[in-house]
Structure 1
Amino acid sequence: MLAALLTAALALVGFGGGTAAAAALRELPPNTELAGGPQQLLAAQPAAPAPLAAGVRTCSIAPQVADPAVLDLHGLVVDAATGEILYERGADAPVPTASVMKLVTAVSAIAVLGADTRITTTVVPGTAPGSVVLVGAGDPTLRSGDTSYYGPGTASVADLAAQIGDAAVVGVDESLFTGPQWQPSWHDVDRRDGYIAPISAAMVDAGHEEPLPIYAERTRAPGAQAGQALAQRLGASFDPGLRPMPGAAPIAEVHSPTIAELVDVMLLDSDNVVAETLARLVAIELGLGADFAAVDLAQREVLERLGVPVDGFVGADGSGLSEDNRATARLIVALLEALQREPDLAGLRALLPQNQRSGTLDNRLPGVPAGAITAKTGWIDTVFGLAGWSDAEGGELRFALFTVLPEGDPGRVGLPNRDALDAVATAMHGCGQRLANG
Structure 2
Amino acid sequence: MTSSPNDPGPPVRGLTYTMATILSVVTILLGYAVLDVADAAPGVLTLTAPPPPAPTETPGTRTLPVVAQPTPSTSVGEPLPPLAGDAEAPTAEGVTRALRPVVALPALTDSALVVRDGQSGEVLFDADGSELRIPASTTKLLSAAAVGQAFAPDATLQTVVQRGAGSDEIVLVAGGDSLIDPGKGDPEAVAGRAGLADLSDQVAAVLEKAGQRSVTLRVDESYAYGPGVAPTWDASFRPSGITGAVAMLGLSSQRATGGRVGPADPVAAVRDLFSRQLERRGIDVRLAPRGTPSVATPTAPASSSTPSATASPGTPAPTPATAPTPAPTAGPGSVLGRIVSAPVRDQLALALTDSDNALTEILARQASFRSGGGTTFADTGAWVVSQVAALGIDTTGVVLRDASGLSRENRVRADLLTRILVLGYDGKHAVLRRALDGLPIGGLTGTLDDRFTGADSDAAGRARAKTGTLTGANALAGSVVDDDGRLLVFAGMVAGAGTTEARAALDRFVATLAACGCR
**TM superposition score normalised by structure 2:** 0.68
Of structures 1 and 2, the larger Rg is shown by: 2
| SS at structure 2 position matched to 1:76 | strand
| SS at structure 2 position matched to 1:388 | strand
Q: Following the alignment from structure 2 to structure 1, what is the Cα–Cα distance between the partners of residues 167 and 380?
A: 38
Q: Of 170, 181, 184, which residue of structure 1 is paired with 2:231?
A: 184
User: What whole-Å deviation, never above 9, does each CA across 1:354-398 have from its counterpart, x for those lacking one?
Assistant: 212322222211222432212222222232211122211343322
Change (3 A) 1:152 1:274: closer
Q: Is the 8 A contact 1:172 1:202 kept in 2?
A: no
Q: Following the alignment from structure 1 to structure 2, what is the Cα–Cα distance between the partners of residues 431 and 294?
A: 42
2:463 alignment counterpart = 373
2:493 aligned with 1:402, yes or no?
yes
Q: Following the alignment from structure 1 to structure 2, what is the Cα–Cα distance between the partners of residues 246 and 68?
A: 69
Q: Following the alignment from structure 2 to structure 1, what is the Cα–Cα distance between the partners of residues 248 and 192?
A: 19
Q: Is the 8 A contact 2:163 2:171 kept in 1?
A: yes
Q: Following the alignment from structure 1 to structure 2, what is the Cα–Cα distance between the partners of residues 91 and 101?
A: 16
1:74 alignment counterpart = 112
Change (3 A) 1:390 1:136: same
Could you say what the CA RMSD is over the residues aligned between the two structures, in angstroms?
Answer: 3.4
2:277 alignment counterpart = 233
Q: Is the 8 A contact 2:185 2:198 kept in 1?
A: no
Q: Is the 8 A contact 1:120 1:255 kept in 2?
A: yes
Q: Is the 8 A contact 1:96 1:325 kept in 2?
A: yes
Q: Following the alignment from structure 1 to structure 2, what is the Cα–Cα distance between the partners of residues 107 and 246?
A: 41
Q: Structure 2 counterpart of 1:382, which letter?
A: G
2:194 alignment counterpart = 155
The alpha carbon displacement at 1:127 in A equals 4.8
Where do residues 423-434 of structure 1 align in structure 2 (5 Å cutoff)? 423-434=508-519
Q: Following the alignment from structure 1 to structure 2, what is the Cα–Cα distance between the partners of residues 290 and 39?
A: 39
Where do residues 151-230 of structure 1 align in structure 2 (5 Å cutoff)? 153-165=192-204, 166-205=213-252, 207-208=254-255, 214-230=258-274
Higher mean displacement: 189-198 or 276-285: 189-198
Q: Following the alignment from structure 1 to structure 2, what is the Cα–Cα distance between the partners of residues 54 and 421?
A: 20
Q: Which has the higher contact order (CA 8 A, sep 6+)?
A: 1
Q: Is the 8 A contact 2:183 2:198 kept in 1?
A: no
Q: Following the alignment from structure 2 to structure 1, what is the Cα–Cα distance between the partners of residues 229 and 407?
A: 11
User: What whole-Å deviation, never above 9, does each CA across 1:165-209 have from its counterpart, x for those lacking one?
Assistant: 244432322221234221112224322332312211222237548
Question: Tell me, which stretches of 5 or more residues in structure 1 are unaligned?
Answer: 1-29, 407-412
2:394 alignment counterpart = 309
Q: Taking every aligned residue pair, what percent have the same amino acid on both sides?
A: 27
2:170 alignment counterpart = 132
Q: Is the 8 A contact 1:140 1:206 kept in 2?
A: no
2:82 alignment counterpart = 47
Q: Following the alignment from structure 2 to structure 1, what is the Cα–Cα distance between the partners of residues 67 and 387?
A: 22
Q: Following the alignment from structure 1 to structure 2, what is the Cα–Cα distance between the partners of residues 391 and 181?
A: 39
Q: Following the alignment from structure 1 to structure 2, what is the Cα–Cα distance between the partners of residues 317 and 188?
A: 15
The alpha carbon displacement at 1:140 in A equals 0.6
| SS at structure 1 position matched to 2:134 | coil
**TM superposition score normalised by structure 1:** 0.79
2:62 aligned with 1:33, yes or no?
yes
The alpha carbon displacement at 1:342 in A equals 4.3
Q: Of 405, 424, 437, which residue of structure 2 is paired with 1:339?
A: 424
Q: Following the alignment from structure 2 to structure 1, what is the Cα–Cα distance between the partners of residues 214 and 138?
A: 45
Q: Is the 8 A contact 2:244 2:264 kept in 1?
A: yes
1:297 alignment counterpart = 382
| SS at structure 2 position matched to 1:319 | coil
Q: Structure 1 counterpart of 2:446, which letter?
A: G
The alpha carbon displacement at 1:307 in A equals 0.9
Q: Following the alignment from structure 2 to structure 1, what is the Cα–Cα distance between the partners of residues 511 and 488?
A: 12
2:478 aligned with 1:393, yes or no?
no
Q: Structure 1 counterpart of 2:336, which letter?
A: I
2:356 alignment counterpart = 271
Q: Following the alignment from structure 2 to structure 1, what is the Cα–Cα distance between the partners of residues 405 and 163?
A: 38
Where do residues 250-265 of structure 1 align in structure 2 (5 Å cutoff)? 250-265=335-350
Q: Following the alignment from structure 2 to structure 1, what is the Cα–Cα distance between the partners of residues 421 and 274?
A: 42
Change (3 A) 1:302 1:242: closer
Q: Is the 8 A contact 1:224 1:240 kept in 2?
A: no
The alpha carbon displacement at 1:247 in A equals 5.6
Change (3 A) 1:153 1:147: closer
Q: Following the alignment from structure 1 to structure 2, what is the Cα–Cα distance between the partners of residues 259 and 419?
A: 33
1:351 alignment counterpart = 438
Q: Is the 8 A contact 1:396 1:432 kept in 2?
A: no
Q: Following the alignment from structure 1 to structure 2, what is the Cα–Cα distance between the partners of residues 47 and 428?
A: 19
Question: Tell me, which stretches of 5 or more residues in structure 2 are unaligned?
Answer: 1-56, 71-78, 205-212, 280-284, 294-329
1:410 alignment counterpart = none
Q: Structure 1 counterpart of 2:82, which letter?
A: A
Q: Of 114, 117, 125, which residue of structure 1 is paired with 2:155?
A: 117
Change (3 A) 1:344 1:54: closer
The alpha carbon displacement at 1:109 in A equals 2.6
Q: Following the alignment from structure 1 to structure 2, what is the Cα–Cα distance between the partners of residues 103 and 173?
A: 31
Q: Structure 1 counterpart of 2:465, which letter?
A: A
| SS at structure 2 position matched to 1:176 | coil
Q: Is the 8 A contact 2:469 2:499 kept in 1?
A: no
Q: Following the alignment from structure 2 to structure 1, what is the Cα–Cα distance between the partners of residues 255 and 437?
A: 28
How many residue pairs end up in the alignment? Answer: 394
Q: Is the 8 A contact 2:137 2:355 kept in 1?
A: yes
Q: Is the 8 A contact 1:295 1:318 kept in 2?
A: yes
Q: Following the alignment from structure 1 to structure 2, what is the Cα–Cα distance between the partners of residues 47 and 402?
A: 29
User: What whole-Å deviation, never above 9, does each CA across 1:112-159 have from its counterpart, x for those lacking one?
Assistant: 2122111011112345553322111111101224599x6675212211
Q: Of 84, 93, 101, which residue of structure 2 is paired with 1:63?
A: 101
| SS at structure 2 position matched to 1:312 | coil
Q: Is the 8 A contact 2:184 2:196 kept in 1?
A: no
User: What whole-Å deviation, never above 9, does each CA across 1:273-323 have from its counterpart, x for those lacking one?
Assistant: 221111012112212233323312331232122111111212222222222
2:43 alignment counterpart = none
The alpha carbon displacement at 1:344 in A equals 4.8
User: What whole-Å deviation, never above 9, does each CA across 1:219-256 have from its counterpart, x for those lacking one?
Assistant: 11222222112112122343333799996233221111
Q: Is the 8 A contact 2:142 2:385 kept in 1?
A: no
| SS at structure 1 position matched to 2:225 | coil
Q: Structure 1 counterpart of 2:216, which letter?
A: V
